[in-house]
Structure 1
Amino acid sequence: MGVELRVYIGSGTGPLRMIRCTGDIDHDSAGRLEEAGRQALTQPGGEFLVIDVAGVTFMDSAGLNCLRRLAPVSLADPLPHRIARLLQLTGADQVFPMTDEAGEGREA
């Protein structure tokens, strides 16, 4: 059993909406992240989503597919090595732009 995924939704500024994740993003938890992403984007004025995965301990193809379904999405820099490597191996590092924006947020 992995580390439980926790998702925190930040308020963001202007059209930017932020999500911070900790734990594992896998088949069992990716839906929670996707739901939080959609919720964040439905906040008034929400147009762009930034996800901070610095606290993510594991991500598999379900996590990558979740990010793809939420696109366009940016990932907050810096990425954990294991997540950066997964993105490089799959070519997803060319799909998801990096940003230095990150936020605290409330738990979803």
Structure 2
Amino acid sequence: MLQQNFDDLPKAGSLLTQAGLECNLEDLTLALHEFLCMNLPRAIKEECLLDKLNQQLFRKEVVSVFEMKGLRQNGIIKEVDSEGFLWVDLENDGLQKFFHKEIELLY
């Protein structure tokens, strides 16, 4: 949370380095614990969770630059499916699905 140096992890960040937030670690952990205790026992329907995820998906429906296997290409994020695949409509390759770390959003 407050870490500033990520020697071997060039893409890593913390609340401090990414948002400039210096929080009291004890206060944050107590608030997080309280939130989890109140909300985890409630059953959440998978469809509802997936809908909320897709509503909040970063850069959804916005032209972005992606890198796959060293090649850059424009594309538009469409959705995440129930199996965890990210669906991206690529400029040259059409609608494709990707799993964790198969594609990188550059900007």
Query: Which structure's residues are more often strand, by fraction?
Result: 1
TM-score over 0.5 for the alignment?
no
The structure number with the bigger radius of gyration is: 2
Higher relative contact order (CA closer than 8 Å, sequence separation 6+)? 1
Q: TM-score band, normalised by the shorter chain?
A: under 0.3
